[in-house]
Amino acid sequence: VALFPSWETLPHERLSPGVDTVGARMMLLRRLAYPDDARLGAPLRIVVTTARSLLQPMAPDLAKVDPVTLTVGADAEFDAIVARLVDLAYSRVDMVGKRGEFAVRGG
């Protein structure tokens, strides 16, 4: 069972939805698009949502956006990871305080 949340904002508000909500929506869409991908967990059998959630617009092919995946002990190109995070709309900050932010140390 998985929840497909609605944005916390109303259509007329000029606010972006929270990063937690956007992330949860993207993950659920990815799990539905790739049910056989074991990295995403077991295939979903039940999705709980509201009419409001279904009516809120989504970018086409949102489920096809590949996440950044890092593996312990594997090599990764530092500059490529930073560039990919920026492409995915993460904010580069000096000190991470919430989801959707990243900081660079060393290198």
Asked if 88 and 65 count as a contact pair (C-beta separation under 8 A), the reply is: yes
What is the CB neighbour count within 10 angstroms for residue 20?
13
User: pLDDT (tens digit, 9 = 90+) per residue, 22-80?
Assistant: 889 988 998 998 899 888 889 999 999 999 899 888 878 777 788 888 899 999 999 99
Of 12 and 49, the structure prediction assigns the larger pLDDT to 49
User: pLDDT (tens digit, 9 = 90+) per residue, 87-103?
Assistant: 988 999 999 998 889 99
Of 79 and 8, the structure prediction assigns the larger pLDDT to 79
Q: What is the pTM of this model?
A: 0.68
pLDDT score at 107: 64
Measured CA to CA in angstroms, residue 82 lies from 27, 37, 63, 94, 96 at distances of 21, 25, 21, 14, 14
